[in-house]
Structure 1
């Protein structure tokens, strides 16, 4: 995975150890109360991820519930050496991408409008890093669907272009185009919000 991830300071909530191994053990025994406790503990993180990827709030809730069901049904397959937070985050991301693949098969593939200039973009890293999850998710809604998903995978969740190309069934060049398109859209949106006109380099 790519190392240039910008999400931690301004992105998804972290449950910070609120899911102890004792609770996981109770969920493995399929105790309804334990499952509800885990749902509440993971809710903020799961919803933040789904809202970043899905424009429609109902779709975000649907993906969150699908992902949580996968978390419960795959608890017995979790590797003990993998931190629980990382494991649950990956399941949520995979759930969103799997549903996107299914939807993409039912629709025509987006066409690209030509090369984008990755220069002349305002410096937005500091701006994004200090945003709350809700505000950041709202800003991302201005980005076209495909570009938003690729940008999320690359700049927020740390996947490389080769990984993204394999996940979404696109070329690496197309993945890079969508990241540039998302950057350009975010640059314009942030310029409107802040009143900035100076143009520099953006999210890397």
Structure 2
């Protein structure tokens, strides 16, 4: 197809995870040559992971199996692509520093999107447990800025629908909801079409 070869090639880390699956499919449907860097499949791998690999191969995704500490391997793959997207889960968050280092070494990446997709950690003052979580995200941000690679931080305010079932329990009968804070924040809670949104 004319013009298709000029589209950026995308490499996605964490592409077989909850959020990563959607990112991979969106990349493919947008016409990008898409690569996924994923942990190797073993005989102990979950059946769902095997299904995802099979599905990705069926839509033309190139899967590269490896670990995040395989620096030379990652650098060589990076040299074949233009854009890197990370959707690694929180337990692996600081492992993104290895990706950042490899991107700096490769020297050709036009844009890196780290695994953010949450609240704007440089602008919020959360309670201590969540503050520790956000501090790891800040470490990755500062490392990206320090090595001066092109980047985009995507902050989507924690995807309200992802957390609302846990935090607000809308399907349980109750007369009140506890919302932490000092009482100064103003917001609107809406319940349209079974979608939940908290708008500050």
Q: TM-score, normalised by structure 1?
A: 0.24
Point out the structure with max Rg over C-alpha.
2
Structure in which a larger fraction of residues adopt helix: 1
Q: TM-score, normalised by structure 2?
A: 0.25
